[in-house]
Amino acid sequence: MGKKCLRCNETIFDESSFAEQLKEYVEAIPEEIRTPPVEYSRRLNLCHSCDNLIGGICSACGCFVEMRAAKEIMYCPYNRW
């Protein structure tokens, strides 16, 4: 069974391959725009403690938090980071 998009309710990925795809996505972000590892971990810890996180997806904006947190320029819609 795959995860569904909160906005359109379409199946968007197979859970068994998501972790690998996520890792590949983050590694492909150019170093100059990628969030430093310590900050990335801090951001994810804040997201994982948030009541608005549903299955890795932010219910405020619909993003995959692991992907949003990976780019240094991005921000939390609730100003947590």
Task: Kindly report the pTM of this predicted structure.
Answer: 0.77
Q: Is 35 within a domain? A: yes
Residue 24 to residues 59, 67, 77: CA-CA distances in angstroms? 24, 11, 25
The pLDDT tens digits for 33-79 are: 999 999 999 999 999 999 999 988 899 888 899 999 999 999 999 99
Give the range of the structural domain holding residue 14, as residue numbers without chain letter. Answer: 2-70
Q: How many domains does the chain have?
A: 1
Q: Is 44 within a domain? A: yes
Q: Is 77 within a domain? A: no
Residues near 21 by beta carbon (within 8 Å), at least 6 away in sequence: 13
pLDDT (0 to 100) of residue 28: 96
Q: Is 75 within a domain? A: no
Q: Is 37 within a domain? A: yes
Beta strands in the chain (DSSP E): 2-4, 11-14, 53-54, 57-58
**What is the CB neighbour count within 10 angstroms for residue 73?**
6
- Mean pLDDT over 27-38 rounds to 96
Q: Is 78 within a domain? A: no
pLDDT (0 to 100) of residue 18: 77
Type of residue at 3? K
